[in-house]
């Protein structure tokens, strides 16, 4: 049970919180829509992998599984990707550039100051642009917020990966804050 009395206790994770406080829901959804589905040279699938990885490092089951399911929907790939993200993607064919960006995201997850000039130079050598480095840092930072919001208020989340299939497809193809 959540730490506060939500208006609809059947809504899982952040969904119940967005429903509880529409004033904050609006910018939170616009931020997610812009970061994950807005125009970018990074594909939405790659950006969802960054979001899901940071959420896993923050041990936020709801955000990890739902954003990993969104990545699966974007790539139309095997849902095994959800668990592969937990292991650091040993069995998924992703670019070296994305691996370098994921390293930057991991540093941000710990603390912004952990990102070094070498981390950034390495990503740049593999083709990352300033905008992509910016977006990676902000996606990682934003999920350090969403994850704390979801867990800090003690929301509930479905356990099984399969329970997130439909949610992931909606996040990928309909978007955030759209009905």
Judged by the rule CB under 8 A, the positions of this chain that interact with another protein are: 3-5, 17, 20-21, 23-24, 26-28, 30-31, 34-35, 38, 58-60, 104, 107-108, 111-113, 115, 117, 120, 130-131, 133-134, 137-138, 140-142, 144-154
Nearest one of 137, 37, 42, 50 to 85, comparing CA atoms: 50
Q: Cβ of residue 79: shortest distance to another protein, in angstroms? A: 25
Question: Which runs of consecutive H residues, i.e. helices, occur in 38-113?
Answer: 44-57, 61-75, 81-86, 96-110
Joined together, the tokens standing for residue 168 give 């992931």
Dist. CA 57–CA 109, nearest whole Å:
8
Joined together, the tokens standing for residue 144 give 């350090």
Q: What is the distance in angstroms between the CA of the first residue and the CA of the last residue of the chain? A: 26
Q: Cβ of residue 82: shortest distance to another protein, in angstroms? A: 20
Nearer residue to another protein within complex by CB, 84 or 109: 109
The residue behind tokens 């099984």 is 160
Nearer residue to another protein within complex by CB, 4 or 174: 4
Nearer residue to another protein within complex by CB, 94 or 138: 138
Residue pair 172/48 in contact (Cβ under 8 Å)? The answer is yes
User: How many other C-beta atoms are found inside a 10 Å radius of the C-beta of residue 10?
Assistant: 8
Nearer residue to another protein within complex by CB, 10 or 113: 113
Q: Cβ of residue 137: shortest distance to another protein, in angstroms? A: 4
Q: Cβ of residue 128: shortest distance to another protein, in angstroms? A: 10
Nearer residue to another protein within complex by CB, 25 or 77: 25
Q: Cβ of residue 78: shortest distance to another protein, in angstroms? A: 30
């Amino acid at each position: 049970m959540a730490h506060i009395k939500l208006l609809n206790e059947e809504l899982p994770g952040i969904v119940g919180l967005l429903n509880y406080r529409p004033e904050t829901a609006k910018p939170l959804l616009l931020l997610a829509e812009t970061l994950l589905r807005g125009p970018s040279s990074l594909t939405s699938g790659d950006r969802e992998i960054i979001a899901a990885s940071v959420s896993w490092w923050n041990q936020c089951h709801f955000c990890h599984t739902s954003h990993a399911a969104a990545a699966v929907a974007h790539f139309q790939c095997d849902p095994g990707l959800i668990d592969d993200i937990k292991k650091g993607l040993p069995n998924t064919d992703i670019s070296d550039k994305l691996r370098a960006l994921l390293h930057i995201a991991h540093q941000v997850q710990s603390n912004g100051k952990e990102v070094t000039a070498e981390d950034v130079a390495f990503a740049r050598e593999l083709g990352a642009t300033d905008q992509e480095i910016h977006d990676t840092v902000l996606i990682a930072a934003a999920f350090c917020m969403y994850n704390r919001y979801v867990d800090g208020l003690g929301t509930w989340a479905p356990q099984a990966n399969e329970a997130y299939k439909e949610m992931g497809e909606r996040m990928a193809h309909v978007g955030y804050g759209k009905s």
